[in-house]
Structure 1
């Protein structure tokens, strides 16, 4: 009898831990056509590293908490189709985090920034105005300042004190902050030339090809550092250039 009581107590103690683990596991189904583009390998590690929610791929929609396919809310288009999201487990915390991220501005920018050959493969769906949640810059601006000085200041002006220590042909963070799409540019900077040739984002970018190593000392950062940089840039005052900015 004592042994049975002890086992029951242990199971009760482990139950909250099991529930917590399940909250951080999302079962996802996506068709082979989407999988073969490489998009999921690009976006899912970024989501998991940021949220600590693990994604498990399953073979059928019936097994999944969230399905990417032809039904539900339109998210993006490309590879010959418009891709939708259907949520099977709306009350599951991890699933809700993934759904929120996919419909957020950061998530959409990550999807549309996927350009393995230099040309983006995906875009917002053309059959509706993209409805994205307002972006929340959750990073640490102080850390972003430090990372910007350490990893970005050799090319960009990142603070008032560094105006003489950068490449004159590159825009300052203050000028970039003036652009209406500055969040897009920073969140996907690693796919915008010339950054892919010398930048590595942990868990997101593939290693440099052996026959094409970085031409300079690589810029290596984590997603937390990138979030911190964006929070720092968000705290800056936009440069006043005296006229609407013209850019391509």
Structure 2
């Protein structure tokens, strides 16, 4: 009986320790309402959390471990302001989140936020002249396979699909040739017509019961999207010729 009790006590202790450990995997972030209302926090924070298992929670400034606002180290510009990051408490997870925001992946994520098809944010003026080689950490081969299954019904995603796409939709090669292709692919699920039939796990809201998807839904994860980005980034852009000169 005593031995069984000790086993139960050990299990309870392990569960409590596990619970406390899980609670520590959190960053308390404060951002002004004007920034939150753009939707960028809802766009960016899940991407970091899904990759790191560190939750980022928006809190009042008095409770924050870090602040995204007018002060601190400049991070980005947009909606008429330069936004910086100030670290108020330097835990491992806070430092990890801050490093991610300034990394290539974090910067790409921030600048890909384009709710109306036009990015809201860009690099701050003091680093505007830096040349950054953009790389993608997804698997290009996996990205091609996901593209074939999920996008191939409408777009030509590789050479084999050039004769089976819908003629009114641009191929991946044409889209790759566009200067804003990263924004187009990175946020495609909020752009028309994709928003009506696309679900990104843990990002998009379920379709309303009275407005289901008009076609078989496109269902992907953020990992799938990163793989697609890696695949498209490796494609040879279509030659669209010289820009049209207006008389």
TM-score with structure 1 setting the length: 0.75
Residue 68 (1) aligns with residue 77 (2): no
Query: What pairs with 1:148-227 in structure 2 (closer than 5 Å)?
Result: 148-227=147-226
Structure 1 distance, partners of 2:104, 2:192, is: 21
Query: What pairs with 1:17-166 in structure 2 (closer than 5 Å)?
Result: 24-60=25-61, 63-78=63-78, 81-89=81-89, 92=92, 94-114=93-113, 118=116, 122-124=120-122, 127-130=125-128, 134-166=133-165
Is the contact made by 1:109 and 1:188 (CA closer than 8 Å) also made in structure 2?
no
Structure 2 distance, partners of 1:49, 1:57, is: 16
Is the contact made by 1:66 and 1:95 (CA closer than 8 Å) also made in structure 2?
yes
- Deviation for aligned residue 1:35: 3.0
- Deviation for aligned residue 1:156: 1.0
What secondary structure sits across from 1:136 in the alignment? Answer: coil
Is the contact made by 1:202 and 1:223 (CA closer than 8 Å) also made in structure 2?
yes
Change (3 A) 1:78 1:181: closer
Q: Give structure 2 stretches of 5+ with no counterpart.
A: 1-13
Match of 1:243 in 2: 241
- Deviation for aligned residue 1:70: 1.6
Q: Give structure 1 stretches of 5+ with no counterpart.
A: 1-12
Change (3 A) 1:119 1:232: closer
Change (3 A) 1:208 1:77: farther
Structure 1 distance, partners of 2:242, 2:78, is: 32
- Number of aligned pairs? 240
**Residues 16-65 of structure 1, C-alpha deviation per residue, up to 9 Å, x if partnerless?**
9899757743221223443344332232112211232211333335x433
Structure 2 distance, partners of 1:132, 1:35, is: 29
Change (3 A) 1:87 1:77: same
Match of 2:10 in 1: none
**Residues 112-167 of structure 1, C-alpha deviation per residue, up to 9 Å, x if partnerless?**
55455x36583226754546964431112222121111101011111111221111
Match of 1:4 in 2: none
Match of 2:6 in 1: none
What secondary structure sits across from 1:76 in the alignment? Answer: strand
Change (3 A) 1:124 1:227: same
What secondary structure sits across from 1:27 in the alignment? Answer: strand
Structure 2 distance, partners of 1:239, 1:60, is: 46
TM-score with structure 2 setting the length: 0.75
Is the contact made by 1:75 and 1:125 (CA closer than 8 Å) also made in structure 2?
yes
